[in-house]
Structure 1
Amino acid sequence: MDLHERARARCHWLPDLTGRTGARYQVLVDQLAADIASGQLKPGDRLPPQRLLADALEVTIGTITRAYREAERRGLVEARVGSGTRVKGTTEQPPDFHHLSRAGHDSIDLSLSIPIPNPLRQQQLAAILQQIASLPTAIESALTYQPEQGSPLQREQLCQWLNAQGLMLLPEEVILTEGGQHADFLALQALIKPGEAVASAALTYPGMIAAARQLGLKHIPVPMDREGIRPDALERLCQQQRIRLLYLMPEYNNPTGLSMSQQRREAIVEVARRHDMLLLEDGVQFVTPDLRGTPLFELAPERALYIFSASKLLSGGLRFGALRAPSNLMPQLRVALRAQCWSSPGLMGAVTCQWLAKGHADPLLHWHWDEVRTRQKLLHEVLGQYNLSSHPCGFHGWLQLPEPWRAADFVKLADSRGVTLIAAEPFCVGTQPAPQAVRICVTPPASRERLQEGLERLAQLLHDEPPLMPPLL
């Protein structure tokens, strides 16, 4: 055996590059990505040493070094001293969202999708609590056990408010939950069996990823374009396997900020009907009526569920939400919710519905939407020269980093300059390679001035040259 044959015999992974055109290192990376996606290479698998693979493929070691470096930049592998280059695992945990308690005084948080701080929020909550305390019937109602579907009065009050926002819901088709994440988990647990498949955009809300994993569901990523989920890609996946439910955010995807046109929504509904697939629309990222498209429960009421939450409007601490569902699915949802927590807390529902009723929250909400739009304009003024996507009512923007930046390096260096960000990994479904991108939230800073300071630090960082990458071993 000659040198090349001996090297090939020792390589546990040997890509076939026969007949492939293009730069050899790029062809190698593309084949690596394909083998990871197919499951031939699994998280934690070690790639052959660079010299060995170079001999086996009869290319220069420089080609292999460049390929491994590009694969690491694309989030496919990670190189560590002493352990070589390994396929990147999917065990990274989403941020615990308590990092602010460990941050320095000068740290500017642009990582959390939360309502903009405003003293009016606390003032209104205090007033609402006083109103409830002055009504004996309200106190008594809040202290009693609630029906599984939630208080009829609270469901009626909530639907009246949602109707005024252009979301035409009926109290009997709504079940109250402990926030949007609970509604997400409830729908999956009640309607999908362990081992069955659900799908979502390849980049999606980490809470959905966690819920599907916790329930033992097969979570399939759907390729995306400038409007999010591609109907043609969804159709192909449905032809290959049975997908029971599609989770999506038509108004604006978290994290990419992409919105779906009316034509895109109708195309997805067609695919769902053709393959008898449920649609779970997450409306937690609430938008104003003038910017909202047609909700999927209007296009396909027989199969579409809709999630509402007060977290982005009033306060995440209230833990109050709702799930709209077709009438034939409501019995399963009621049984599942009763097994989980019996019912949503009456007091939280009373506070939220009273706050929204009769225009009590209007001054806060009007200020909130005006401020969010202004902050989105500021985001684009400072970083608009880069590949940035967002929604006018969005709490965040999605920045695809220019070459040769890697997201992990950018987040780390931003932190060293007092700005906290989240990279793409927590939003990636399955073994989907993480893009070199970061989510930038515009809502956590208490003032526009503080936000602008954080954005300008990021702009300066982007202007600077990224640090030199250490050589791979």
Structure 2
Amino acid sequence: MDLQERARQRCHWLPDLSASSPPMYKALVEQLAQDIASGAIKPGDRLPPQRLLADALQVTVGTVTRAYREAERRGLVEAKVGSGTRVRGTQEQAPNFHHLTRAGQDSIDLSLSVPIPNPLRQQQLSAMMEQLSQMPEALQTALNYQPEQGCLEQREQLSAWLAQQGLSIAPEEMIVTEGGQHADFLTLQALIKPGEAVASAALTYPGMIAAARQLGLKHLPVPTDSEGIRPDALERLCQQQRIRLLYLMPEYSNPGGEHMSLARRKAIVEVARRHDMLLLEDGVQFVPATLRGKPLFELAPERALYIFSVSKLLAGGLRFGALRAPANLMPQLRAALRAQCWAPPGLMGAVACRWLTSSDADVLLNWQWQALQQRQNILSEVLAGYPVRSHPCGFNAWLPLPEPWRASEFVQHAEKQGVTLIASDPFCVGSQPAPQAVRICITPPPTDDILRQGLERLRAMLDEAPPMLAPLI
């Protein structure tokens, strides 16, 4: 039996390329897409190793490698170190991150990055809506179609509030969005073409991963250190291929908690200018001015975009935010937003801006900053001795697990102990291997005592060897 025949017998997926015309890698991708659509191969199925398939088809390994890369770019497959290349599920299944997956009734939820529960939120929202109901002119404005950039009055209110927080963004520089995730998607759709490359930290916000994948973009990981994205690694990546946009969270990253110094931010800007790359700064994880560094749009106003949202300040359900962009990019952003939804909703903006700029919001936010610092102290106290990374005002922390724990097992066992967590997999970009770590969100529990109980259960697990767990399905 010759080499080709032996290889063919070992391939559980063997496309027929006899009638295909060059380039063969494209023919291989098209056959793969057809077999996925027909159900011949199913989500989760592993593709043959590249050399094995090359031998079976009598093509070069480079042809198969190029085909697998193109299939990954198109969202057909996913490559993971240690588990090979597998067929993806539906768009709804990937990435494996569901922000509304709540903990069970008897479980302590440490999985969601949400504002700390407080009855003041409902009370203040009710008061804002009552005030608005007594303002006929404001109601009429809210009922009218809005400009693509959003209501000018609302942008002026938001601009004034941001200035008080040390962020100078003029009303004409911002476009109103339906939250931070919308700003992510809007930016990528308007400014990056399908097939072009964007980059981020190797571990990043799952919403960005999902947006890049949905739009058919090549999403590349950049190695990090204790300050986040490394300029030298970014430079090497830019020398290898054209990167159109870099997504980053300089204040404190989600999930890793890294904070960028001013020197690091300047170094990133230098690389971006040298390679004509846009910078998308995600400021949704908002922090007080005393703890905030210089925003990238002050260092590179001609290429830096900035995302703001009220989700971590007032409430995620409001779906209100804004995107700061250079003037030359605003026409493309306006056109994309108009195609998506015509204009942002005026009523939601009226409520959010009136609430954010009120004295009531000051009371709520001052309480939240103090409560976050208290919860961070509880986190440090309970998990003392373990390498937890976080920020004084961070909603979440990052915990690399000690050997021999594995992230999936730790999450599974935590669920048995009544604690809900998220492992590292949803945050991994591309084919990056998932580190053995978990994200711990300290904000969902309604009281400090419940948070402490959840953390103490995790501490007990960390102090003991992992039990034998049933295999994950």
Q: Is contact 2:409–2:469 with CA below 8 Å preserved after alignment? A: no
Hey, what does 1:176 align to over in structure 2?
Answer: 176
Aligned runs of 1:292-371 on 2, under 5 Å? 292-371=292-371
Q: TM-score, normalised by structure 2?
A: 0.82
Hey, what does 1:417 align to over in structure 2?
Answer: 417
Q: Does 1:214 align with 2:214?
A: yes
Q: Determine the C-alpha separation between the residues in 1 that align with 2:9 and 2:232.
A: 41
Look up the equivalent residue of 2:421 and give its one-letter code.
L
Q: Determine the C-alpha separation between the residues in 1 that align with 2:216 and 2:210.
A: 10
Hey, what does 1:251 align to over in structure 2?
Answer: 251
Deviations 1:298-350 (A, max 9, x none): 00000000000000000111000000000000000000000000111101100
Q: Determine the C-alpha separation between the residues in 1 that align with 2:104 and 2:279.
A: 42
Deviations 1:396-452 (A, max 9, x none): 000000011000000000001110000001000000000000000000001000000
Find 1:95's aligned residue among 97, 100, 111: 97
Q: Determine the C-alpha separation between the residues in 1 that align with 2:388 and 2:307.
A: 27
Hey, what does 1:15 align to over in structure 2?
Answer: none
Hey, what does 2:449 align to over in structure 1?
Answer: 449
Q: Does 1:191 align with 2:196?
A: no
Stretch deviating more after TM superposition (237-246 or 458-467): 458-467
Look up the equivalent residue of 2:349 and give its one-letter code.
G
Look up the equivalent residue of 1:289 and give its one-letter code.
A
Q: Determine the C-alpha separation between the residues in 2 that align with 1:88 and 1:404.
A: 26
Aligned runs of 1:229-248 on 2, under 5 Å? 229-248=229-248
Look up the equivalent residue of 1:383 and give its one-letter code.
L
Q: CA, structure 1 residues 112+118, in 2 after alignment: closer, same or farther (shift >3 Å)?
A: same
Deviations 1:174-207 (A, max 9, x none): 0000000000100000000000000000000000
Q: Does 1:77 align with 2:82?
A: yes
Q: Is contact 1:189–1:215 with CA below 8 Å preserved after alignment? A: yes
How many Å apart are 1:76 and its aligned residue? 3.4
Q: Determine the C-alpha separation between the residues in 2 that align with 1:221 and 1:451.
A: 33
| Cα RMSD (Å) | 2.3
Q: Is contact 2:117–2:445 with CA below 8 Å preserved after alignment? A: yes
Deviations 1:236-282 (A, max 9, x none): 00000000000000001100011101110000000000000000000
Q: Determine the C-alpha separation between the residues in 1 that align with 2:116 and 2:281.
A: 24
Q: Is contact 2:97–2:206 with CA below 8 Å preserved after alignment? A: no
Hey, what does 1:204 align to over in structure 2?
Answer: 204
How many Å apart are 1:464 and its aligned residue? 1.5
How many Å apart are 1:468 and its aligned residue? 4.2
Q: Does 1:107 align with 2:107?
A: yes
Q: CA, structure 1 residues 153+336, in 2 after alignment: closer, same or farther (shift >3 Å)?
A: same
How many Å apart are 1:463 and its aligned residue? 1.2
Q: CA, structure 1 residues 370+211, in 2 after alignment: closer, same or farther (shift >3 Å)?
A: same
Aligned runs of 1:11-50 on 2, under 5 Å? 44-45=46-47
Hey, what does 1:279 align to over in structure 2?
Answer: 279
Deviations 1:8-65 (A, max 9, x none): 99999xxxxxxxxxxxxxxxxxxxxxxxxxxxxx9824679xxxxxxxxxxxxxxxxx
How many Å apart are 1:356 and its aligned residue? 1.5
Structure 1: unaligned runs, 5 residues or longer: 2-6, 13-41, 49-74, 79-85
Instruction: Give aligned pairs, total.
Output: 403
Q: Is contact 2:95–2:206 with CA below 8 Å preserved after alignment? A: no
Q: Determine the C-alpha separation between the residues in 2 that align with 1:265 and 1:308.
A: 19
Q: Determine the C-alpha separation between the residues in 2 that align with 1:9 and 1:319.
A: 53
Aligned runs of 1:132-171 on 2, under 5 Å? 132-171=132-171
Q: TM-score, normalised by structure 1?
A: 0.82
Look up the equivalent residue of 2:237 and give its one-letter code.
L
- 3-state SS, counterpart of residue 360 of structure 1: helix
Q: Is contact 1:76–1:88 with CA below 8 Å preserved after alignment? A: no
Look up the equivalent residue of 2:265 and give its one-letter code.
R
Q: Is contact 2:95–2:210 with CA below 8 Å preserved after alignment? A: no
Hey, what does 2:37 align to over in structure 1?
Answer: none
Deviations 1:209-262 (A, max 9, x none): 000000000000001111110100000000000000000000011000111011
Look up the equivalent residue of 1:148 and give its one-letter code.
E
